[in-house]
Amino acid sequence: MSTQDLARAHGAPVLKARLRTTVEDFRVDEIDTFEPSGSGEHLLLAIEKRGMTTMHALRRIAQWAGVAESAIGYAGLKDRHAVTRQRFTVWIPKKISPDVTALQADDFKVLSADWHARKLPRGALTGNRFVLMLRGVEGERDAIEARLQMIAARGVPNYFGEQRFGRGGDNVSQALAMFAGKRVRRDERSLLLSAARSQIFNAVLDQRVQRNDWDQGIEGDVFMLDGSHSVFGPVEVDETIATRLASFDIHPTGPMWGRGELRPQAAIRVLESYIAQTYAELCDGLEKAGMKQERRGLRLKVSALAWTWQAEDVLSLSFQLPAGSYATTVLRELGDVEDVQRP
C-alpha cells in the first residue's frame, strides 16, 4: 500500500501547495533530552547544517577529528533538503579538541561544543521542532485554518512517512527479496526490516482511520502513555480511559510486527490478525529475522501548532512532534503538498 493511498482522518484535502522550493522552507531543530555533563571524553557538538544529510555531517566530523566514523554519536537522522540543527558526539580520548573553527563553513556551523560523559545514542531526543513554508497555496483560507484547528485539537494518524519506504517506495519489495534469500549489507538490512514493519503498521492504522476509531479506545485495545514507550492493556474502556484519551495522556496502539503473542484482544486482535494474513510474507520474514512484537501509538499529537500567512499564497507552519514521527503526516491531513525535492 502506497502512502498516497492511506485514508485521511479529517476529510478531503483543503489545499494544494509546494514544499521545499528553497532549502530554508524546511527547518528542523532537535529538542534535546539532556544538558552536557561538562566532563568526559566525548565532545558534544551542536551543529546547524544546510542541504546535508546526517551521515554526510558525521563523515565531515570524523575527518576533522581524525577518528573512525564509529566514534561519532547522533540521536536521529535529518532530512537533506532542509536547514537542520542537531547534536553529535565525537570520542576524543586525549580530551584535546581539534580547532572547532576548522569545521565552520557556509553549510555547516558549530553552534556550541561541550565535553560530555558518554556517546550520544540513537533516539536520545524528546522530539523535533519544525518550521515549514508552503508556497503556491491554493484553497479557501477559512477551510485551511479550520483544518489546522482540527489537527491541533485531535492530532493526526501516526503513519510512517514515505521516507521510510525508500526511493520510489521499493524498500518493501527489497525486504521481500531479502526474506527470500537475497544478501544485503548490514545497514541495508536494518532499513528493510523497518520498512516491512512500517508497511504492516500503516495498513492497520489505515483500517482504523477508515473506521474512525484511530483515536478512540475500542474493546481489546492496548494503550501507550504519551511521551513514552510504556504500554498497558487490554483494559476495560471506561470513563477514565476515555478522559485520558481526550487529554492526550494515552493513545491506542498498533503492531510493530515480530515474534511473540499479539497483545490486543477481541475486535482489535481480529483486525490485526487479518492484516497479518494479508502481509503474511512480511510477517513471516520479520519473525524469522528475530524481530519481536512491539507497539506504536496510532495517534500523533501535534504540539505548539501555529501558522501565519506570509503572503496571499504563502503559509508558514510551526509545530513540535515526538521523536520517530513525520512532518509529512501532518501535511497530508491538510491536503496535497508537493515536496519538490522528493524523487
Beta partners for residue 16, in sequence order: 138, 336
Please state which of the ranges 59-68, 94-103, 221-230, 248-257 shows the lowest mean pLDDT. Answer: 94-103
What are the grid coordinates assigned to 246, written together?
481526550
Burial of 212 (0-12, 13-18, 19+ CB in 10 A): exposed
pLDDT more than 70, % of the chain: 99
**What span, in angstroms and rounded, lies between the C-alpha atoms of 179 and 160?**
21
Residue 312: pLDDT over 80: yes
The pLDDT, as a whole number, for residue 231 is 97
Q: What is the pLDDT of residues 129-154, one digit of tens each?
A: 999 999 999 999 999 999 999 999 99
Residue 343: pLDDT over 70: no
Query: How does residue 273 score in pLDDT terms, banded at 50, 70 and 90?
Result: very high
Q: Do 95 and 41 touch, CB atoms closer than 8 A?
A: yes
Contacts of 166 (CB under 8 A, 6+ apart): 174, 191, 195
The pLDDT, as a whole number, for residue 56 is 95
Average pLDDT, the chain: 94
The pLDDT, as a whole number, for residue 4 is 80
pTM, two decimals, is: 0.91
Burial of 253 (0-12, 13-18, 19+ CB in 10 A): buried
> For the residues of 18-62, what is the DSSP string, one character each?
EE-SSGGGEEEEEEES----S-SSEEEEEEEEES--HHHHHHHHH
Q: Do 194 and 283 touch, CB atoms closer than 8 A?
A: no
**What span, in angstroms and rounded, lies between the C-alpha atoms of 279 and 21?**
37
Query: How does residue 187 score in pLDDT terms, banded at 50, 70 and 90?
Result: confident
Please state which of the ranges 13-17, 98-102, 216-220 shows the lowest mean pLDDT. Answer: 98-102
The pLDDT, as a whole number, for residue 1 is 67
Q: Between residues 4 and 155, which one has the greater pLDDT?
A: 155
**What span, in angstroms and rounded, lies between the C-alpha atoms of 94 and 236?**
57
* Average pLDDT estimate for 15-28: 96
Q: Is the dihedral of CA 139, 140, 144, 147 positive or negative?
A: negative
Q: What is the pLDDT of residues 275-302, one digit of tens each?
A: 999 999 999 999 999 999 999 999 999 9
**What span, in angstroms and rounded, lies between the C-alpha atoms of 214 and 278?**
20
* Average pLDDT estimate for 196-203: 97
Distances (CA, A) of 164 to 190, 196, 202, 293, 297: 11, 10, 11, 19, 17
Contacts of 54 (CB under 8 A, 6+ apart): 74, 76, 77, 78, 86
**What span, in angstroms and rounded, lies between the C-alpha atoms of 207 and 272?**
10
The pLDDT, as a whole number, for residue 79 is 86
Contacts of 190 (CB under 8 A, 6+ apart): none
Q: What is the pLDDT of residues 107-129, one digit of tens each?
A: 999 999 999 999 999 888 999 99
Q: What is the pLDDT of residues 27-42, one digit of tens each?
A: 999 999 889 999 899 9
Question: Residue-wise over 25-55: b if at least 16 C-beta within 10 A, else e?
Answer: bbbbbbebeeebeeebbbbbbbbebbebbbe
Verify whether residue 170 is a known catalytic residue.
Answer: no
* Average pLDDT estimate for 261-269: 95
Which of 25, 32, 79, 206 is the catalytic position? 79
- Listed residue (254, 264, 341) closest to 297, CA to CA: 254
**What span, in angstroms and rounded, lies between the C-alpha atoms of 141 and 138?**
9
Question: Residue-wise over 135-147: b if at least 16 C-beta within 10 A, else e?
Answer: bebebeeebbeeb
